[in-house]
């Protein structure tokens, strides 16, 4: 406690338990498309609402098609965000398009909303010559400088302290922008999480920490990860604003993130938002969730599908119809399939590009290593058919 904090004295030992405080969950929209009595609704116009829904549908279709492609052996790896689209799209919709997003690996919905094209998705997934990362990353590690979406890193939670640092730079620049760090509740068990929150609170940075609490850190349920009341109360220990929201409720997510951004940008203070949702799909294409959760549990959450909830709300407002919905899904499925077929035909990046984009001028040791690699490929061309055919031997 700092010396200038107002002291409240007691004269007998009084211990406080963390489980005495339970953070409420902000809910607006029911599954049937109606709203809770007395709920605070966001100011969401028709055009924005339809843009959000279309992004949610495209994300769902992309995930379904690309998991199928992985199962067919056309793609090495994939991760779905099925069941979490209200969170992953809704948070992005509440931001300024120039706010920085530092995501984990299940936020493709935010990229869809900001305008990342299917072609750009496919180029990264297939690591072809048009991939912005030039084939250096495994699939689903997207990034876009023009869309202010930091390239995803595999190590868990590294983006959280980076978001604090980036937001501190935004504060110093005075550009009235914020940075959003998105992560799962499993990543909140990493030390990086605590270091980031403490630094953000001390430096008063415009950072929004968005935790997608989907109940599982791969196969570890939340009940085995922590004993407290989720992630939201942790922010109180660092003296920051916090809110828990129904992550399947698009209106609640949009409203909470709109307010969080206002606090971050106008007051230069960090905010933690905990979105309660559920990962309907497996953790990744390498995971089998039947080993750690029941079909009954999954079915309970399928009945809370965020796409259906928003569709019902749109229909109740006469902004959408079943025919429009069916046409949208069909059009997206055709476009995803056609774009995938084109992207997987494109050649891999040339081997010379392995050492570009790190240094302005590649240093001698990297050039030497590249020449050694090329010599190795020339010795065994049958083992590297894609690479040897794209190698500059000059």
pLDDT band per the 50, 70, 90 thresholds, residue 1:
very low
Q: CA-CA distance, 279 to 302, in Å (whole number)?
A: 10
Residue 154 within a domain: yes
d(CA 280, CA 308): 14
* pLDDT confidence band for 14 (50 / 70 / 90): confident
pLDDT, tens digit, for every residue of 276-300?
Answer: 999 999 999 999 999 999 999 999 9
Percent of the chain with pLDDT over 90: 88
Note whether residue 14 is domain-resident: no
Does the pLDDT at position 19 exceed 80? no
Active site positions, annotated = 279, 283, 292
Q: What are the Cα distances from residue 327, in Å, to 298, 331, 334, 360?
A: 28, 6, 11, 48
Q: Are residues 126 and 166 in the same domain?
A: yes
Whether residue 370 sits in one domain with residue 321: no
| Distance set, CA 320 to CA 219, 248, 307, 325, 327 (Å) | 38, 19, 13, 7, 11
Considering the domain architecture, whether residues 113 and 235 belong to the same structural domain is answered as: yes
Report the alpha-carbon distance of residue 181 to residue 122 in Å, rounded.
24
Please indicate, yes or no, whether residues 379 and 280 belong to a single structural domain of this protein: no
Whether residues 36 and 173 fall in one domain: yes
368 and 247, same domain (yes or no): no
Q: With a threshold of 0.75, does the pTM exceed it?
A: yes
Tens-digit pLDDT profile for residues 181-202: 999 999 999 999 999 999 999 9
Helices (H), 208-363: 234-237, 250-267, 295-302, 306-316, 322-343
Q: Does 358 lie in the same domain as 284?
A: no
CATH number at residue 266: 3.40.50.970
- Together in a domain, 285 and 160: yes
Tell whether 71 and 180 lie within a shared domain.
Answer: yes
Residue where a domain terminates, one of 311, 327, 343: 343
pLDDT greater at residue 118 or residue 385: 118
Does any domain span residue 174?
yes
Please state, in angstroms and rounded to a whole number, the distance separating the CA atoms of residues 113 and 48.
10
Is residue 289 a part of any domain in this protein? yes
Residue 84: CB atoms within 10 Å: 27
List 392's β-bridge partners, or say none.
Answer: none
Burial (Cβ within 10 Å: 0-12, 13-18, ≥19) of residue 349: buried
- Residue 92's nearest CA partner among 104, 101, 81, 83 is 101
Same domain, 339 and 360: no
**Does 44 share its domain with 170?**
yes
The domain tally of the chain equals 2
95 lies in some domain: yes
In a domain, 119, yes or no: yes
Count of CB atoms situated within 10 Å of the CB of 335: 16
Q: Is residue 36 part of a domain?
A: yes
Query: How do residues 249-266 score in pLDDT, each as one tens digit?
Result: 999 999 999 999 999 999
Give every CB contact of residue 299 below 8 A, 6+ residues apart in sequence.
Answer: none
Percent of the chain with pLDDT over 70: 96
| Residue 25, in any domain of the structure | yes
Residue 325 CB partners (closer than 8 Å, separation 6+): 311
Its domain, for residue 358, covers 351-388
Q: Are 129 and 347 in contact (CB under 8 A)?
A: yes
69-95 tens-digit pLDDT: 999 999 999 999 999 999 999 999 999
Q: Are residues 266 and 384 in the same domain?
A: no
């Amino acid at each position: 406690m700092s010396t200038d904090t107002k002291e409240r004295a007691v004269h007998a030992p009084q211990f406080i338990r963390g489980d005495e405080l339970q953070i409420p969950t902000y809910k607006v929209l029911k599954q049937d498309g109606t709203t809770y009595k007395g709920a605070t609704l966001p100011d969401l116009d028709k055009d924005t609402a339809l843009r959000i829904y279309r992004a949610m549908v495209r994300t769902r279709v992309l995930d379904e098609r690309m998991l199928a492609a992985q199962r067919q052996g056309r793609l090495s790896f994939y991760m779905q965000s099925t069941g979490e689209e209200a969170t992953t799209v809704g948070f992005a919709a509440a931001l300024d398009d120039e706010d920085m997003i530092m995501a984990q690996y299940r936020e493709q919905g935010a990229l869809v909303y900001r305008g990342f094209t299917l072609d750009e998705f496919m180029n990264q997934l297939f690591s072809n010559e048009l991939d912005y990362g030039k084939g250096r990353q495994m699939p689903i590690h997207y990034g876009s400088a023009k869309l202010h979406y930091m390239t995803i890193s595999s190590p868990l939670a590294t983006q959280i302290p980076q978001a604090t640092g980036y937001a501190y730079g935004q504060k110093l620049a005075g550009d009235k922008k914020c940075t959003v760090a998105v992560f799962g509740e499993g990543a909140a068990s990493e030390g990086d999480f605590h270091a980031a929150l403490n630094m953000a609170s001390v430096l008063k940075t415009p950072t929004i920490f968005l935790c997608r609490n989907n109940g599982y850190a791969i196969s570890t349920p939340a009940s085995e990860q922590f004993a407290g009341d989720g992630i939201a109360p942790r922010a109180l220990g660092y003296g920051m604003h916090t809110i828990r929201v129904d992550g399947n409720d698009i209106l609640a997510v949009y409203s909470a993130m709109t307010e969080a951004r206002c606090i971050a940008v106008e007051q230069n203070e960090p905010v933690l938002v905990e979105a309660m949702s559920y990962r309907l799909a497996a953790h990744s294409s390498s995971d089998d969730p039947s080993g750690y959760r029941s079909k009954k549990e999954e079915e309970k959450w399928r009945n809370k599908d965020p796409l259906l909830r928003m569709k019902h709300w749109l229909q109740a407002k006469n902004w959408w119809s079943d025919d429009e919905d069916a046409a949208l899904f069909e059009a997206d499925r055709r476009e995803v399939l056609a774009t995938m077929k084109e992207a997987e035909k494109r050649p891999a990046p040339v081997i010379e590009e392995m050492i570009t984009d790190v240094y302005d001028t590649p240093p001698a040791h990297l050039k030497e290593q590249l020449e050694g690699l090329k010599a190795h490929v020339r010795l065994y061309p049958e083992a590297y058919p894609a690479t040897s055919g794209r190698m500059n031997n000059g």
